[in-house]
């Protein structure tokens, strides 16, 4: 009997439903080809549902989603809802409640995709950012006093436990160790490094020169864990310098690991260097629970309903989901199909400039598959 996966689908707001329709199309085609099926349950949570009912998520959202093998999410965000409500009430709440403590964001320049970085090719831009996804300033500790007076004080605490840091680092070291393969040899390593027996590289990004308490914890934990991974060459980079190297020498990076807010910021930059939001996918992972896969771009209200948005990021998210579920071959085949479509068909990755409609791009990926 073929394998069946239970998928919770949250198309969400704006262009979310349009890109998710294409991701589902590709998922179904991959299932037919590789011999698995998906049982999908759709949820209408998002801005429209909030405006109609005043509810961001039902009280039992966690229980409902936990009955699935994975969650596929379109986009959350609505122009008529005050910023913060849907982000905190849906996206962040799901990440926290499902304990998705890793945000995995591959930075990969597909063939045929334009990068704003001069003279950089697909082989130069191919790394992964492991963003800690549940702690730091996102924890939500803090407050305001003397609100709306000239003396108002605001405080947003940046907190990390050793436990949170260690589990994130563990994931990153394991990923770095596994990333080395014939297809992906020795990224960022010199001849001397290779001779010394290193197969991969892991860079910790922080700000140890100023934020000494929290970044000191990350650095000590990182150096301690490095001893268990002699094949992984470790490096450290301040976050400000990282943004510089990501633009100037992206080929230096293999796997980056960093805390939540720094990871949030550098991955938008990383996405722009590799073709933008139209092609960038991400995964919110709970390695022992239910994970959630999403295109990292937003709901793009101005393109909603026009059939012009690029669905490749959502299709890439579906591929990441299959990889995580263990359908490695199908995941790789979808990635290859995306590369075929970017390399031979699309004129641009930007909404409205692809030379094809949203659903035609989905069809092209299916045809390539």
Site for ligand IPM, rule CB under 6 A: 87, 91-92, 264, 296
Could you say which of ligand IPM, Mn ion, none residue 87 binds, taking C-beta under 5 to 8 angstroms by partner kind?
ligand IPM
Is residue 87 a contact residue for Mn ion (CB under 5 A)? no
41 forms beta bridges with: 8
- Minimum CB separation from Mn ion for residue 266, in Å? 10
Which of 122/298 has CB closer to ligand IPM?
298
14 φ, ψ (degrees, to nearest 5): 55, -125
Which of 88/238 has CB closer to ligand IPM?
88
Which of 76/334 has CB closer to ligand IPM?
76
Q: At what angle do helices 16-34 and 358-368 cross, to 10 degrees?
A: 20
Which of 174/268 has CB closer to ligand IPM?
268
Give the strand pairing for 102-108 and 281-285: antiparallel
Nearest residue relative to Mn ion (C-beta):
264
- Minimum CB separation from ligand IPM for residue 189, in Å? 29
**Among 54-62, 213-221, 261-269, 299-307, the segment contacting Mn ion (CB under 5 A):** 261-269
| C-alpha 23 chain-centroid distance | 16
- Minimum CB separation from ligand IPM for residue 135, in Å? 12
Could you say which of Mn ion, ligand IPM, none residue 219 binds, taking C-beta under 5 to 8 angstroms by partner kind?
none
The tokens 């699935």 sit on which residue?
68
Which of 91/262 has CB closer to ligand IPM?
91
**Among 87-95, 127-135, 257-265, 342-350, the segment contacting Mn ion (CB under 5 A):** 257-265
Instruction: Please tell me the distance from the alpha carbon of residue 314 to that of residue 279, in angstroms, as a whole number.
Output: 8
- Minimum CB separation from ligand IPM for residue 296, in Å? 6
Q: At what angle do helices 312-325 and 16-34 cross, to 10 degrees?
A: 40
Is residue 264 a contact residue for Mn ion (CB under 5 A)? yes
Which residue, among 250, 367, 244, has the nearest Cα to 315 in the 3D structure?
367
Which of 246/369 has CB closer to ligand IPM?
246
Could you say which of ligand IPM, Mn ion, none residue 339 binds, taking C-beta under 5 to 8 angstroms by partner kind?
none
- Tell me what percent of the chain is helix, strand and coil, each rounded to the nearest 5: 45, 20, 35
- DSSP assignment of 256-314 equals EEE-HHHHHHHHHHHHHHTT-TTT-EEEEE-TTS-EEEEESS---GGGTTTT-S--HHH
């Amino acid at each position: 009997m073929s394998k069946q996966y239970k998928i919770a689908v949250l198309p969400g707001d704006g262009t979310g439903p349009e890109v998710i329709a294409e991701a589902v199309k590709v998922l179904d085609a991959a299932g037919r080809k590789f011999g698995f099926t998906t049982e999908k349950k759709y949820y209408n949570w998002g801005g429209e549902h909030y405006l109609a009912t005043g509810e961001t998520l039902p009280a039992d959202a966690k229980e409902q989603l936990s009955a699935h093998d994975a969650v596929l999410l379109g986009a959350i965000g609505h122009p008529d809802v005050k910023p913060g409500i849907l982000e905190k009430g849906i996206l962040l709440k799901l990440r926290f409640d499902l304990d998705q403590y890793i945000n995995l964001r591959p930075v990969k320049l597909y063939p045929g995709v334009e990068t704003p970085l001069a003279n950089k090719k697909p082989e130069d831009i191919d790394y992964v950012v492991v963003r800690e996804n549940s702690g730091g300033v996102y924890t939500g500790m803090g407050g305001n006093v003397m609100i709306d007076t000239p003396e108002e004080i605001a405080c947003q605490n940046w907190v990390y436990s050793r436990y949170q840091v260690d589990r994130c680092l563990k994931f990153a070291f394991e990923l770095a160790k596994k990333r080395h393969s014939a297809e992906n040899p020795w990224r960022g390593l010199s001849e001397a490094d290779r001779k010394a027996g290193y197969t991969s590289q892991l860079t910790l990004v922080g700000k140890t020169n100023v934020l000494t308490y929290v970044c000191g914890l990350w650095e000590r934990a990182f150096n301690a864990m490095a001893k268990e991974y002699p094949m992984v060459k470790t490096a450290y980079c301040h976050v400000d310098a990282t943004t510089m190297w990501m633009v100037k020498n992206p080929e230096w990076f293999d796997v980056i690991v960093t805390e939540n807010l720094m990871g949030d910021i550098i991955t938008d930059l990383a996405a722009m260097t590799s073709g933008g939001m139209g092609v960038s996918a991400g995964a919110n992972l709970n390695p022992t629970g239910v994970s959630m896969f999403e295109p990292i771009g937003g709901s793009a209200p101005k393109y909603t309903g026009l059939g012009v948005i690029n669905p490749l990021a959502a299709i890439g998210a579906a591929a990441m989901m299959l990889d995580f579920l263990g359908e490695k071959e199908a995941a790789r085949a979808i990635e290859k199909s995306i590369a075929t479509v970017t390399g031979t068909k699309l004129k641009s990755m930007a909404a409205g400039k692809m030379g094809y409609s949203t659903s035609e791009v989905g069809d092209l990926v299916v045809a390539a598959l």
